[in-house]
């Protein structure tokens, strides 16, 4: 195993016991890669589980333990934010469903331990969107500052409104009315997700197990930026293993649900790359059915090469020319699957113009005397 290679973190994640053989220099690289991938705390907890931490130097241990303290504190903050949202939802009879990191915390899923999150994601019915936004603003959340074009873009085409930030706690909240942009071809009928959402003791809801995994898959493979791509793929691996262990019919139900929602291609991508990168185990019948939705061999080869390059830490020790090409191609792919060309081209032209304009404004201001 090439421990000093660009895939050091991935190798150690897949084989934690091999961390006992790392040199001090390799430990330093591992710390840096795990921080870059937002996996530092999760990796340390995984190494502890496999009793593979005895060889680490004190400096490396301090970095990992500091990351664990931060991640554990974030879970406490997440629990507090969930309780505040639950109080608001109960008082106003709002149907609110937690998504992603907040749902993992509320459900105490295994991937919540040590997992960093940047915001709280909340799903409400579209008809309740204005009421939910108003109530959140009364609770101290404020709209982030964006220009009029971006504001209109969010509200007309996206699956969420512009991010909200609390004026005291600085908590960022994304308020969703769907799990994919309205312009995406694969955007599912959100009523199915609302109907099967599970009530939580706090008064909020979480998606059903199959929908949690499908949303995770959709979120990852419709992105155009993959700085946390490996972390999100590890989320999928956790969810596949955990839900399958809980219910031996989970994979059958997952396939049927993806078919109902029109998300079988996304399920194929999630299943294929989890198995390829993280050795996720599946029932043979499930995987053979999923593979029926693979693209042709040329497209699959291109996807495999690109995603294998991108599902690594985005750290200087990992960056190559192939990585840069893969990142650019997947960035373009992300835009193409989220929006049709007739909307995408004018959007990109405008964004490019605005960024160029801002650049020259900055250049001009930098040349002015104080």
* Model confidence pLDDT, tens digit, residues 107-143: 999 999 999 988 999 999 999 999 999 999 999 999 8
Q: In this predicted structure, what is the pLDDT of residue 217?
A: 97
Nearest to 211 by CA among 289, 291, 123, 286: 123
Q: What is the DSSP letter of 178?
A: S
Q: In this predicted structure, what is the pLDDT of residue 274?
A: 98
Over residues 329-341, the pLDDT tens digits come to 999 888 888 776 6
Share of the chain above pLDDT 90, in %: 76
Q: Is 47 exposed, middle or buried (0-12, 13-18, 19+ CB in 10 A)?
A: buried
Q: In this predicted structure, what is the pLDDT of residue 353?
A: 62
Greater model confidence, 149 or 347: 149
- Residue 46 CA from chain centroid, whole number: 20
**Euclidean distance between CA atoms 236 and 216, whole angstroms:** 7
Here the tokens at position 128 are: 């309740």
Over residues 217-269, the pLDDT tens digits come to 999 998 888 999 999 999 999 999 999 999 999 999 999 999 999 999 999 99
Q: In this predicted structure, what is the pLDDT of residue 263?
A: 96
Here the tokens at position 259 are: 């078919």
pTM, two decimals, is: 0.90
Identify each DSSP E strand in the chain by its residue range: 97-99, 120-123, 141-143, 164-166, 172-176, 198-199, 205-206
Is it the case that residue 209 has pLDDT exceeding 70? yes
Q: In this predicted structure, what is the pLDDT of residue 359?
A: 47
Answer whether 16's CB lies under 8 Å from 46's CB: yes
Average pLDDT value for the chain: 90
Q: Is 125 exposed, middle or buried (0-12, 13-18, 19+ CB in 10 A)?
A: middle
pLDDT grade for 355, boundaries at 50, 70 and 90: low
Taken as a whole, the chain contains a residue count of: 370
Tokens 């090469």, residue? 305
Is it the case that residue 145 has pLDDT exceeding 90? no
Over residues 4-40, the pLDDT tens digits come to 578 899 999 999 999 999 999 999 999 999 999 999 9
**Main-chain phi, psi angles of 121, to 5 degrees:** -110, 130
Relative to beta strand 164-166, strand 120-123 is: unpaired
Give 203's contacts (C-beta < 8 A, 6+ positions apart): 86, 87, 89, 90
First to last CA, the chain: 56
Q: In this predicted structure, what is the pLDDT of residue 347?
A: 61
pLDDT grade for 351, boundaries at 50, 70 and 90: low
Over residues 148-203, the pLDDT tens digits come to 777 777 787 788 999 999 999 999 999 999 998 877 777 889 999 999 999 999 99
């Amino acid at each position: 195993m090439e421990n000093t290679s660009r895939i050091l973190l991935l190798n150690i994640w897949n084989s934690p016991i091999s961390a006992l053989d790392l040199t001090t220099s390799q430990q330093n690289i591992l710390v840096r890669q795990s921080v870059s991938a937002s996996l530092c705390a999760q990796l340390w907890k995984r190494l502890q589980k496999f009793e593979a931490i005895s060889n680490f130097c004190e400096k490396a241990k301090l970095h990992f333990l500091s990351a664990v303290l931060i991640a554990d504190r974030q879970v406490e903050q997440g629990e507090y934010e969930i309780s505040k949202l639950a109080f608001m939802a109960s008082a106003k009879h709002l149907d609110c469903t937690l998504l992603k990191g907040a749902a993992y915390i509320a459900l105490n899923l295994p991937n919540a331990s040590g997992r960093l999150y940047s915001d709280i994601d909340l799903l409400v019915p579209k008809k309740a969107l204005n009421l939910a936004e108003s109530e959140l603003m009364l609770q101290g959340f404020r709209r982030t500052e964006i220009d009029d074009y971006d504001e209109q873009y969010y509200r007309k085409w996206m699956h969420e409104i512009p991010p909200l930030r609390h004026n005291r706690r600085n908590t960022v909240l994304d308020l969703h009315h769907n799990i994919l942009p309205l312009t995406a071809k694969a955007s599912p009928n959100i009523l199915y997700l609302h109907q099967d959402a599970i009530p939580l003791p706090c008064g909020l809801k979480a998606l059903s197990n199959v929908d949690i995994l499908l949303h995770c898959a959709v979120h990852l493979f419709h992105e155009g930026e993959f700085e946390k791509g490996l972390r999100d793929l590890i989320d999928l691996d956790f969810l596949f293993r955990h839900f399958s262990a809980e219910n031996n019919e989970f994979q059958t139900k997952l396939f049927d649900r993806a078919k109902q929602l029109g998300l079988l291609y996304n399920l194929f991508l999630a299943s294929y790359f989890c198995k390829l990168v993280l050795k996720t185990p599946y029932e043979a019948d499930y995987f053979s059915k999923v593979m029926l939705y693979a693209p042709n061999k040329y497209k699959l080869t291109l996807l495999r090469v690109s995603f294998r390059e991108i599902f690594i830490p985005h750290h200087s020790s990992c960056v190559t020319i192939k990585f840069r090409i893969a990142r650019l191609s997947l960035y373009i792919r992300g835009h193409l699957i989220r929006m049709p060309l007739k909307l995408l081209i004018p959007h990109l032209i405008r964004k490019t113009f605005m960024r160029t304009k801002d650049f020259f404004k900055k250049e001009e201001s930098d040349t002015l005397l104080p």
